[in-house]
Amino acid sequence: MKDLKFEQKSSLTRLEAADQLAALAEALRHGGNAELELGPGTMSLRVPDELRTEIEVEVGDGEIEMEIELKWPTTRSGAAS
């Protein structure tokens, strides 16, 4: 079971999608504790200096789907056990 899951589906204009991705890029650029505006609320995340990434593109059924996945551990590196 996941500790937390947030999922948001919406229709956006190209410019709105670009603004959302730019806000995410800015949060990643600054690292540390990043705040992302998601719909009516804000989510705070600790973003480490190193992440694992996966980009997937699927074409079929008259659609193109692109997924950008970022992963990092919930514990800090070098934390005491």
User: Residue 81: its pLDDT value, please?
Assistant: 44
Query: In total, how many domains does the chain have?
Result: 1
Q: What is the span of the domain harbouring residue 59?
A: 14-71
**Does the residue 32 lie in any domain?**
yes
Question: Residue 9: what are its φ and ψ, rounded to 5°?
Answer: -120, 135
pLDDT in tens, 5-53: 878 888 999 999 998 889 888 888 888 888 877 777 888 888 899 999 9
8 occurs within a structural domain: no
5 is a domain residue? no
Residue 3 within a domain? no
Q: For residue 1, what pLDDT is reported? A: 53
Q: Where are the alpha helices (DSSP H) in 1-81?
A: 14-30
How many beta carbons lie within 10 A of that of residue 38, not counting itself? 13
Residues with Cβ within 8 Å of residue 67, at least 6 apart in sequence:
54, 55, 56, 57
Reported as a single tens digit per residue, the pLDDT across 70-80 is 999 988 765 54
pLDDT at 24: 87
